[in-house]
């Protein structure tokens, strides 16, 4: 199947001056596949002979080709995601960052993040990647309730993510994130609150909390379709979001994006780039990039990815060039999710009128800022963010 992925030629792309630029590197390896996951990940039996060292060699080639295309763009953030990047181990993750530095200039104080599975980390791992220059770690926690972890097919123990967070902070990481999922079938309000409290008590400066989405083609979707598990209920999901937001706010973590909360200075700058007009090159199998007005995505299978790069060809599976209308839609869709808000100056006259209707309904707050008016979602507005966007755009 992998060999049928056909590459295309990526048109010339040039970063827009003045906007933050990031690198995303996708690590496709996982020991097992969680039942809810539809990310581009592969277990050992599915890799077609590609191992971490072969992947690393291919990524080196893509980074070299990217730097030539971008004229060695200055990089503000690096994010290593997956998959399970921690399966690479500290030495390979250090090598990966060395490869980035070999081909790109990192700004002083650049944010460098890696995701990690708690079960594939240990104190020496955190010490090694901190010494290599990583500044931020994002750990998949999901829940402290054993029944929730079991339903999600997570293999780590309920307390391991918390222990890993403490190990990371002990190794010198000031910025540590814990990912939570709420709305799993069989979960209770108490399960959610205990998970949030545990994350707060661990002392991390960032928490992400996502409503469970049943993605087509996943094991979870098959269990829901068969009636074995109930589908997440929208009203329950909204209630759980309010519980999470209230508890995190009480603990001093403020929302800065609909699904993300942090202490002051703990915001993920790389992800802010996605939401606030930044640009990035996506390296690795299935990774997406966005530079100028061009978005593209790589071939998915690691063996095809490595084969194309061995032949000195960018592994691009497809691209699109966004026109002014699409760019405007994305501006509204993404900026409205941020606490800093959507500048009214970005909206046309009819859109500003519709924004006034939303303000009257209490879905958004209007705040005066130094460069003009913005629309910021209230808590109720955050629950209805997609509907807000549809209303604004008409």
Structural domain contains residue 291: no
Q: Is residue 206 located within the same domain as residue 333?
A: no
**pTM for the complete prediction?**
0.95
Query: Structural domain tally of the chain?
Result: 2
Structural domain contains residue 202: yes
Q: What is the CATH number of the domain that holds 372?
A: 1.10.10
Give the per-residue pLDDT at 92: 98
pLDDT value at 30 more than 60: yes
Structural domain contains residue 142: yes
Residue with tokens 């191992």: 51
Please tell me the distance from the alpha carbon of residue 281 to that of residue 273, in angstroms, as a whole number.
12
CA–CA distances in Å: residue 106 to residues 57, 72, 101, 387: 21, 10, 7, 39
Q: What is the mean pLDDT of residues 285-304?
A: 96
Q: Is residue 388 located within the same domain as residue 253?
A: no
Q: Is residue 134 located within the same domain as residue 233?
A: yes
Q: Is residue 382 located within the same domain as residue 251?
A: no
Structural domain contains residue 307: no
Q: Where among 207, 242, 276 does a domain terminate? A: 276
pLDDT value at 2 more than 60: no
CB atoms inside a 10 Å sphere around CB 143: 25
Express each pLDDT in 117-149 by its tens digit: 999 999 999 999 999 999 999 999 999 999 999
pLDDT value at 262 more than 70: yes
Q: Is residue 195 located within the same domain as residue 343?
A: no
Structural domain contains residue 316: no
Structural domain contains residue 63: yes
Domain that holds residue 61: 21-276
Sign of CA dihedral 355, 359, 362, 364: positive
Q: Is residue 330 located within the same domain as residue 272?
A: no
- pLDDT above 70 coverage of the chain, percent: 97
CB 200 within 8 A of CB 247: yes
pLDDT value at 89 more than 80: yes
Express each pLDDT in 344-388 by its tens digit: 999 999 999 999 899 889 898 876 565 568 999 999 999 999 999
Give the per-residue pLDDT at 1: 39
Express each pLDDT in 48-83 by its tens digit: 788 999 999 999 999 999 999 998 689 999 999 999
Q: Which of 43, 4, 6 lies closest to 298 in space, CA to CA? A: 6
CB 301 within 8 A of CB 1: yes
Structural domain contains residue 214: yes
Give the per-residue pLDDT at 184: 95
Q: What is the CATH number of the domain that holds 253?
A: 3.20.20.70
Express each pLDDT in 326-342 by its tens digit: 999 999 999 999 999 99
Q: Is residue 198 located within the same domain as residue 117?
A: yes
Structural domain contains residue 192: yes
Q: State the average pLDDT for the chain.
A: 93
Q: Is residue 115 located within the same domain as residue 201?
A: yes
Q: Where among 250, 276, 302 does a domain terminate? A: 276
Q: Is residue 186 located within the same domain as residue 87?
A: yes
Q: Is residue 245 located within the same domain as residue 334?
A: no
Q: What is the mean pLDDT of residues 254-268?
A: 98
CB 69 within 8 A of CB 282: no
Express each pLDDT in 202-259 by its tens digit: 999 999 999 999 899 899 889 999 999 999 999 999 999 999 999 999 999 999 999 9
Q: Is residue 39 located within the same domain as residue 181?
A: yes
Residue with tokens 């409503």: 211
Q: Where among 213, 241, 276 does a domain terminate? A: 276
Q: Is residue 83 located within the same domain as residue 188?
A: yes
Please tell me the distance from the alpha carbon of residue 276 to that of residue 278, in angstroms, as a whole number.
6
**pLDDT tier, 275 (very low <50, low <70, confident <90, very high otherwise):** very high
Q: End-to-end distance of the chain based on CA atoms, in angstroms?
A: 41
């Amino acid at each position: 199947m992998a060999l049928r992925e056909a590459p295309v030629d990526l048109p010339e792309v040039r970063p827009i001056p003045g906007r933050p630029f990031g690198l995303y590197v996708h690590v496709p390896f996982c020991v097992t596949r969680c039942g809810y996951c539809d990310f581009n990940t592969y277990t050992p039996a599915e890799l077609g002979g590609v191992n971490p060292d072969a992947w690393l060699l291919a990524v080196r080639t893509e980074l070299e080709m990217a730097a030539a295309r971008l004229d060695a763009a200055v990089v503000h953030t690096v994010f290593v995601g997956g998959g399970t990047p921690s399966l690479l181990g500290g030495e390979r993750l250090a090598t990966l960052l060395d490869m980035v530095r070999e081909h790109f200039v990192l700004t002083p104080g650049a944010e460098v993040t890696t995701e990690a599975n708690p079960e594939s980390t240990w104190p020496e791992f955190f010490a090694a990647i901190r010494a290599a220059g990583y500044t931020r770690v994002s750990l998949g926690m999901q829940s402290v309730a054993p029944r929730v972890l079991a339903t999600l097919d997570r293999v780590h123990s309920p307390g391991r993510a918390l222990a890993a967070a403490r190990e990371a902070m002990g190794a010198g990481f000031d910025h540590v994130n814990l990912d939570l999922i709420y709305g799993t079938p069989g979960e209770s309000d108490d399960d959610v609150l205990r998970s949030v409290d545990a994350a707060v008590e661990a002392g991390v400066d960032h928490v992400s909390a996502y409503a469970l989405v049943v993605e087509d083609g996943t094991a979870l979707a098959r269990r829901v379709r068969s009636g074995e598990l109930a589908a997440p209920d929208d009203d329950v999901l909204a209630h759980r979001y309010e519980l999470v937001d209230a508890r995190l706010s009480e603990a001093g973590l403020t929302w800065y994006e609909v699904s993300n909360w942090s202490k002051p200075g703990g915001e993920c700058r790389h992800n802010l780039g996605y939401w606030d007009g930044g640009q990035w090159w996506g390296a690795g199998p299935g990774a997406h990039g966005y530079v100028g007005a061009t978005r593209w995505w790589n071939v998915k299978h690691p063996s095809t990815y490595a084969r194309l790069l061995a032949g000195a060809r960018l592994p691009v599976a497809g691209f699109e060039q966004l026109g002014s209308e699409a760019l405007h839609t994305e501006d509204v869709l993404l900026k409205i999710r941020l606490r800093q808000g959507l500048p009214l100056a970005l909206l046309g006259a009819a859109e500003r009128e519709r924004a006034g209707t939303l303000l009257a309904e209490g879905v958004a707050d209007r705040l005066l800022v130094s460069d003009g008016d913005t629309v910021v979602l209230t808590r109720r507005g955050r629950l209805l963010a997609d509907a807000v966007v549809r209303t604004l755009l008409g």
